[in-house]
Amino acid sequence: MQRFRFRPTVRYVDPFERWVPLLLKFCMYGFLGYLFYEAATTFLEYTPLQPWPGLLSTFRMFTFLPIHETGHLLFSFFGRTLHILGGSFWQVMFMVIWFGIAVYQRSQTAPVAAFFAGENLMDVSLYIRDAEFRALPLLGGRSSEHDWYNLLSDWNALSSAGTIADIVYYSGFAICCFALIGGCIFSIMVFLEPTRHPHYVDPLTARNNSVQDLLNKQISEKEKKELM
């Protein structure tokens, strides 16, 4: 007697369940695009006494800054250089680790993680650019605790602060652009190819599987009766 293999019950995803995630993703990328605009125009050059844009200021205060200070704490046990560098390093690396985990898990949050890695690079670039002038308001309020002034002074590279800042800024700028564009393209690809949806199955397959499940159930009951 031919035996049938059990197949897991699958659910048909209707068009409404495909359109809503796509629209939400576009809203999210629109939000990130506006945040990117604020970051790109603010981090290129600091103007003393000019207030930060509201959305960017909120992200810096409640997201970037706590991660930055955590980096100083984490690397405080590894000497002066790593202690000073740890804030900026961890500010970017935290987002890179998030991106790596998202890619490993094939999560659609990967472009978002890449975006914030790029934005934090731009944030760090402003800190580097300010090393010569020390005009940025610091958390402790003392210019002598300026991370990049101390680092570049130790490395005899204070005069190269502007060049280093440009490299870091435009690297972050490019990463943000690729993340936003790539995220939108990937969202459209998932929408146009619904088989990428983790719960998707077309109606014909769903109907065939339902029939298959019914046959499997009948055969299983018959085998149980024969064994009794």
Residue pLDDT tens, the chain, 228 long: 445 454 544 445 566 677 888 899 999 999 999 999 999 999 998 887 788 898 999 989 999 999 999 999 999 999 999 999 999 999 999 999 999 999 999 888 999 999 999 999 999 999 999 999 888 888 765 656 789 999 999 999 999 999 999 999 999 999 999 999 999 999 998 888 765 554 444 444 545 555 556 556 655 655 555 555
Residue 181, domain member (yes or no): yes
Residue 57, domain member (yes or no): yes
Q: How distant is the alpha carbon of residue 151 from its chain centre? A: 28
Contact 84, 98 (CB under 8 A): no
pLDDT of residue 88: 96
Residue 215, domain member (yes or no): yes
Contact 183, 26 (CB under 8 A): no
Alpha-carbon gap, residue 47 to 40, rounded angstroms: 14
Residue 6, domain member (yes or no): no
pLDDT of residue 182: 95
pLDDT of residue 18: 75
pLDDT of residue 200: 47
DSSP 84-135: HHHHHHHHHHHHHHHHHHHHHTT-TTHHHHHHHHHHHHHHHHHHHHTTTT--
List CB contacts of 85: < 8 A, sequence separation 6 or more.
75, 147, 151
pLDDT of residue 131: 92
Domain that holds residue 66: 15-227
Per the structure, the count of domains in the chain is 1
Exposed (0-12), middle (13-18) or buried (19+): which is 189, by Cβ within 10 Å? exposed
pLDDT of residue 221: 59
Residue 190, domain member (yes or no): yes
